[in-house]
């Protein structure tokens, strides 16, 4: 195989109670990328559409991630990369993760799959390190593995895939302001009270149980965050009002997607999600704030070949 085109999904990290350890992948929102082997031995980014991103390999997360993979293999293979961005940078739905995960997935395929999807994670995390100064895995893991991922530990890296209850739908509202992950990480407090930790790990454990038992109600009640959300939500216009509207319109839970400014409403079923989508849309239109709005299933597959 000389050339491959892939779809790299957007992802929702943290899911309220799982800061840096939990994320899920969207089925119908994501980027496309094309990778082609070249004979120059260089990794070249030949085209980027949709976003203004660096073309230099060492400054682009996709280039850095593929370089890490090739280094591990001691391979001199070169690639041309075309990146078709649909996910906006700084949106909070894993734009850098989609590029990093997509690039290593595609390169791995063209090289005859020397690595499993799980083994590709550390390379994709190098892209996250470049983008945000921190090699978190809660976007790249679900982007590569699909469904829900739990990072059990970072050192050593241990990642678990969790079940994806079939009726889940995700509504994403992206207020069109850019929040850099680096900045929104810098405002988080470095220590928390024992009481808050107790509440958080109670919710995280319950959320995992809810995914295994298809308990949508428990899932909704577990989507709580007393640690990061109170600090980061001040960056998101009308966060409290949005949360109230989403809950009153039937969302199971509502929170910040990754480092924001996107917010998510997790819903049960298409009709409920559509209802939530419309309520949020109406509210933001009245406030005259520009936004993007997405409604998607949780993708089971993660990055996938489309051509």
Q: Please list the active-site residues.
A: 128, 181
Tokens 């690639």 -> residue: 79
Is the CB of residue 142 less than 8 Å from the CB of residue 148?
Answer: yes
Closest by CA to 48, choosing from 39, 59, 37, is 59
Position among 5, 20, 36, 44 found at the interface with ligand HSE (CB under 6 A): 20
Q: Is 235 in the site for ligand HSE (CB under 6 A)?
A: no
Could you give the string, one character per residue 83-122, with x where binding to ligand HSE holds by CB under 6 A and - elsewhere?
----------------------------------------
Q: Where are the alpha helices (H) located in 158-193, listed in sequence order?
A: 181-186
- Cis omega (within 30 of 0) on the bond before 154? no
Output phi, psi for 168, to 5 deg. Answer: -70, 140
Contact window for ligand HSE (CB under 6 A) among 134-142, 191-199, 217-225, 238-246: 134-142
Residue from 6, 9, 10, 14 binding ligand HSE (CB under 6 A) = 14
H/E run at residue 266: strand 263-268
CA atoms within 13 A on the CB side of 285: 7
Q: Are 140 and 125 a contacting pair, CB within 8 Å?
A: yes
Nearer to ligand HSE, 181 or 272 (CB): 181
Q: Which of residues 239-278 bind ligand HSE (CB under 6 A)?
A: 258-259
Give residues 162-201 in contact with ligand HSE (rule: CB under 6 A).
181, 185
Among 40-48, 59-67, 68-76, 135-143, which window interacts with ligand HSE (CB under 6 A)?
A: 135-143
Instruction: Indicate the residue whose CB is closest to ligand HSE.
Output: 258
13 binds ligand HSE (CB under 6 A): yes
- CA dist., res. 194 & res. 200, Å (int): 10
Q: 95 or 279, CB closer to ligand HSE? A: 95
Please state, as a whole number, how many other Cβ atoms lie within 10 Å of the Cβ of residue 301.
12
Q: Rounded to the nearest whole angstrom, what is the least distance from the CB of residue 137 to ligand HSE in the complex?
A: 9
Q: Which of these ranges, 13-21, 68-76, 158-166, 201-209, lies near ligand HSE under the rule CB under 6 A?
A: 13-21
129 sits near ligand HSE (criterion: CB under 6 A): no
Token pair 């800061």: residue? 19
For the beta sheet containing 291-297, the strands, ordered from the edge strand earlier in sequence to the opposite edge, are 253-256, 263-268, 168-175, 291-297
* Chain contacts with ligand HSE (rule: CB under 6 A): 13-14, 19-20, 136, 138-139, 181, 185, 258-259
């Amino acid at each position: 195989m000389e050339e491959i085109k892939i779809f790299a999904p957007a992802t929702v990290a943290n899911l309220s109670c799982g800061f840096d350890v939990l994320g899920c992948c969207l089925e119908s929102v994501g980027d496309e990328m094309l990778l082609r082997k070249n004979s120059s031995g260089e990794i070249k980014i030949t085209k980027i559409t949709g976003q203004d991103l660096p073309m230099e390999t060492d400054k682009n997360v996709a280039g850095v991630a593929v370089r890490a993979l090739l280094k591990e293999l001691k391979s001199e293979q070169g690639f041309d990369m075309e990146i078709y961005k649909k996910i906006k940078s700084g949106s909070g739905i894993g734009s850098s993760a989609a590029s990093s995960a997509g690039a290593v997935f595609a390169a791995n395929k063209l090289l005859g799959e020397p690595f499993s999807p799980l083994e590709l994670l550390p390379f994709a995390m190098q892209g996250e390190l470049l983008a945000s100064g921190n090699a978190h895995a809660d976007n790249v893991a679900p982007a590569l593995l699909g469904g829900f991922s739990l990072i059990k530990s970072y050192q050593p890296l241990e990642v678990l895939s969790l079940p994806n209850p079939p009726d889940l739908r995700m509504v994403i509202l992206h207020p069109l302001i850019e929040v850099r992950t680096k900045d929104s990480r810098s405002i988080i407090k470095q220590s928390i009270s024992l009481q808050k930790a107790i509440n958080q790990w109670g919710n995280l454990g319950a959320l995992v149980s809810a995914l295994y038992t298809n308990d949508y109600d428990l899932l909704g009640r577990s989507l709580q965050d007393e640690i990061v959300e109170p600090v980061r939500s001040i960056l998101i216009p009308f966060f409290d009002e949005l949360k109230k509207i989403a809950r009153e319109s039937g969302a199971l839970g509502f929170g910040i997607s990754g480092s924001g400014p996107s917010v998510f409403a997790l819903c049960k079923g298409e009709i409920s999600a559509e209802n939530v989508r419309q309520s949020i849309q109406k509210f933001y239109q009245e406030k005259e704030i520009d936004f993007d709005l997405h409604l998607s299933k949780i993708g089971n597959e993660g990055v996938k070949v489309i051509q």
